[in-house]
Amino acid sequence: MKEILVVSASPHITSKHKTSTAMRVVIAALLPALAYATYLFGLRVLFVTLVSVAAAVGCEALMQRMLGRKITVTDGSAILTGLLLAFNLPPGVPWWLPAAGSAFAIIFAKQLFGGLGYNFINPALAGRAFLMASWPSLMTKEWLAPVGGTLSGIDGVTAATPLSLLKNPANYGDPQLLIRQLSDFETVRNVFFGKIGGCIGETSALLLLIGGLFLIFLKIIDYRIVIGYLGSFALLAWLLPTQGSVLFHLFAGGLFLGAFFMATDWVTSPVTRKGRWIFGIGCGVITIIIRVWGGYPEGVSYSILLMNVFTPFIDKLTKERVFGELPKKGVKK
């Protein structure tokens, strides 16, 4: 035989599940929410999203070129970062804001740390934190009212999103009445279906839930993080002196977006099973602490960023039990 045979280590087959396909599936799972946001707030949403994605992809290619790395924008990770960043912006922001956020996310949070797989915090959330620190007014004021609804989900209150209304009810009317109204079936329904104002991607809890369950079903995201996050959050929302009902807290703000799509980011969450529970629960605890006692109405993004920082320690402290280690009592000798 003249041809040379290929010699490689086993295994000689691999599953079809690839990084780039997973990225594409996550993007697909986010598209219904994007389509719905476009319907709610107008074509402007698509424009903001496109700028964000384009800036992310452009910066990724540019940085990879400058750093002499292989250009891998087709893997979909930069597209996903751009998309998630746009999802975290109010729909009325000026066009350059998403561009600035994406550039920070890709250049500083991702590529300077080594690119895909080496970033220690979620790039999209880092971009959002950067924008919150730099242009707080743009990030908290440029809301748009949804088609056929109000910003707050309550008739007559048009100047605040549900969570900011909950934080400072006295600014908008009778606090007792408003808080009661927020927990009404009517309002909770609006919040669940997304007939409220908010960031581009966070409004419809329902569509995010469908997309997220789809990803759990495909085992692309880990159920432990999601259940740990939502479960601990719901439990504390019920136990702690929160204003508003548990269901309102679950569906309002960016909780579903965060729990299903941002906390579950592979790179920045623990790899151990126990670690993923701890990570999810930590996110839930920090989120509720910020919502109840913090200065911001919403705590999802900072809770995830904080837990991202703990991820290496969590992995170290929750090593998996090696087969045959400390065998259980009663094992026959």
Partner 1 sequence: MFSKFSGGVHPPEQKNTESCAIEVMPAPEKVYIPFSQHTGKPAKPLVDKGDEVKIGTKIGELDGFISASVHASVSGKVLNIVDHPHPVIGTSLCCVVESNNNDDWVSDLKAGQDIGGMTEKQLLDAVKEAGIVGLGGAAFPTHVKLAPPKGKKIDTLIINGCECEPMLTADHRLMLEYATAIIEGARIFQKILHASSLVFGIEDNKKDAVELFGREGIGVVRLKTKYPQGAEKQLIKAILKREVPRGGLPMDVGCVVHNVGTCYAALMAAKFRKPLIDRILTVAGDGVKEMKNILVRIGTPVSDVIEYCGGYVETPKKIIFGGPMMGIAQYSDNVPVIKGTSGILVWQDARVVEEGPCVRCASCVDTCPMGLMPTEICSFVKNKNFEMAKAYGVLDCIECGCCAYTCPAGIPLVHYFKYGKSEVWRMSK
The verdict on 18 binding partner 1 (CB under 8 A) reads yes
We find the least distance from the C-beta atom of residue 81 to partner 1, in angstroms, to be: 13
Identity of the residue, 126 or 199, whose beta carbon is nearer to partner 1 in the bound complex:
126
We find the least distance from the C-beta atom of residue 310 to partner 1, in angstroms, to be: 14
Chain residues 138-167 in contact with partner 1, contact rule CB under 8 A? none
The verdict on 327 binding partner 1 (CB under 8 A) reads yes
Q: Which of 205, 201, 223 is nearest to 213 (CA)?
A: 223
The verdict on 2 binding partner 1 (CB under 8 A) reads yes
Q: Which residues contact 150 (CB under 8 A, 6 or more apart)?
A: 156, 157, 158, 196, 197
Please spell the DSSP secondary structure of 117-136, one letter per residue. TT-SS-HHHHHHHHHHHH-H
Please spell the DSSP secondary structure of 220-241, one letter per residue. SS-HHHHHHHHHHHHHHHHHS-
The verdict on 12 binding partner 1 (CB under 8 A) reads yes
We find the least distance from the C-beta atom of residue 275 to partner 1, in angstroms, to be: 9
Please tell me the count of residues contacting partner 1 according to CB under 8 A: 48
Q: Which of 192, 284, 214 is nearest to 242 (CA)?
A: 284
Identity of the residue, 295 or 327, whose beta carbon is nearer to partner 1 in the bound complex:
327
Tell me, what DSSP letter sits at residue 112? G
- Distance CA(273)–CA(39), nearest Å, equals 39
Q: Return the residue of 75, 91, 143, 314 that touches partner 1, per CB under 8 A.
A: 75
Contact characters 302-321, partner 1, x per CB under 8 A: -------------x---xxx
Q: Return the SS3 of 154.
A: coil
Identity of the residue, 120 or 172, whose beta carbon is nearer to partner 1 in the bound complex:
120
Q: Return the SS3 of 37.
A: helix
96-131 burial, b at 16+ Cβ within 10 Å, e below that, comes to ebbbbbbbbbbbbbbbeeebbeebebbbbbbbbbbb
Identity of the residue, 25 or 139, whose beta carbon is nearer to partner 1 in the bound complex:
25
Identity of the residue, 181 or 311, whose beta carbon is nearer to partner 1 in the bound complex:
311
The verdict on 7 binding partner 1 (CB under 8 A) reads yes
User: Taking a C-beta distance cutoff of 8 angstroms, is the pair 160, 294 a contact?
Assistant: no
Chain residues 262-301 in contact with partner 1, contact rule CB under 8 A? 266-273, 276
We find the least distance from the C-beta atom of residue 88 to partner 1, in angstroms, to be: 21
- Distance CA(37)–CA(46), nearest Å, equals 9
Q: Return the residue of 115, 146, 198, 253 that touches partner 1, per CB under 8 A.
A: 115
**Residue ranges binding partner 1 (CB under 8 A):** 1-3, 5-15, 17-19, 21-22, 72, 75, 115-118, 222, 266-273, 276, 315, 319-325, 327-328, 331-333
